[in-house]
Amino acid sequence: MTYRIAYVNVGFLDTLIEDRIAAEAGMRIDYFNGMDTKELPQQVKDADAVIVTLEKFTDDLMSRIPNLKVIGRMGVGTDSLDIEAATRRGIPIINIPDYCIEEVALQAVSLMLAAHRKVVPANKLVSERRWGMDGIRPIHALSGLTLGLLGMGRIGVKVIEYMRAMVGAIAVYDPYLTPDKAPPGVKLVSLEELLSESDMISVHCPLSPETRYLINRENIAKMEKKPIVVNVSRGPIIHEEDLLEGLNSGQVRYAALDVLEQEPPEPSHPLLDHPNALITSHIAWYSEEAQVRMRELSIRRVIDYLEGRSVPTIVNPQAVGAR
């Protein structure tokens, strides 16, 4: 059977990878970029599968694609998709949480180390033709510090692998993690313990109703060691106004963020030029190799599902066979 697959607002410069894999399976892909989903072309309405990146996929949108059998999320996070509606309609969502583990973990570690060693302010000194330690002290030995992870999925495990030999201790708060699943030497703690004991806090939990604004004024006040805060997960896990307040008061020593609540941010966003913040433009996922993996895995897993093969990364497995 020939299935129709629609790519909606994905926007790569070429489609060679997708076209090759679809042709091998005898399937057809239609591409729609810059499209307002309020007005769907007939090819999308007739699609058996739709693949998106950050497109909002609502219950209403699903209702207008009557043949829809599966949604492919080209990436990791699923907060842009109405999972409840998809499940109710018997539409599995397939994401790709395993395409950029090394890249995201390395971005977190890079931001962490740059913040700890005060690379940005030290470079600013040199760019101003000043040589010395003005504004750099104190820096404490990394080997005596505690790293705290909020969440420990695939990426968190990789961060632990990279950082284990560099820090004095690693603590993890993850309500879904059992002690037998924790890596050796990693201490499972409560949220309050992690906030109070960590010199560096790195965010690795998904965005959900439970984690939205998890880093807020109340929890920042519990950060006894005035830590570095790193976020390579999702922007709205941090309440940015509360973080700014923490930076200004010194309760948070430094913020190193690859994600913000609004992307791109307004030019006047106060964190962009803050002396104690380092912001990168949501690049943690990227390497040339990761981009190829993402594209190949997205189309292959959607095709596998359509052809009845097992897929390892279905977000809502209860939707399988529910139609």
Q: What is the pLDDT of residues 235-247, one digit of tens each?
A: 999 999 999 999 9
Asked if residues 49 and 6 have their Cβ atoms less than 8 Å apart, the reply is yes
pLDDT of residue 301: 98
pLDDT of residue 145: 98
pLDDT band at 303 (very low <50, low <70, confident <90, very high): very high
pLDDT of residue 146: 98
Asked if residues 235 and 258 have their Cβ atoms less than 8 Å apart, the reply is no
Asked if residues 26 and 72 have their Cβ atoms less than 8 Å apart, the reply is no
* pLDDT higher than 80, residue 323: no
Between 222 and 42, name the one with better pLDDT: 222
Calpha distance 11→51 (Å, rounded): 11
pLDDT of residue 254: 98
Give me the active site residues, please.
234, 263, 282
Give the CATH number of domain 101-279: 3.40.50.720
Percentage of the chain beyond pLDDT 70 is 99
Residue 274 CB contacts under 8 Å (≥ 6 apart), including other chains: 244, 247, 255
Q: What is the pLDDT of residues 149-198, one digit of tens each?
A: 999 999 999 999 999 999 999 999 999 998 888 899 899 999 999 999 99
Mean pLDDT of 14-39: 91
Give the CATH number of domain 4-99+288-319: 3.40.50.720
What does the buried/exposed string (b/e) look like for 205-243 if buried means 16 or more CB atoms within 10 Å of the residue's CB? bbbeeebeebbbeebbeebebebbbbbbbbbbbbbbebb
Polymer length in residues for the chain: 323
Calpha distance 85→63 (Å, rounded): 10
pLDDT band at 42 (very low <50, low <70, confident <90, very high): confident
**One fold for both 4-99+288-319 and 101-279?**
yes
What is the strand order of the sheet 49-52 is part of? Answer: 28-32, 4-8, 49-52, 70-73, 93-94
Domain boundaries, the chain: 4-99+288-319, 101-279
* pLDDT higher than 80, residue 298: yes
Q: What is the pTM of this model?
A: 0.91
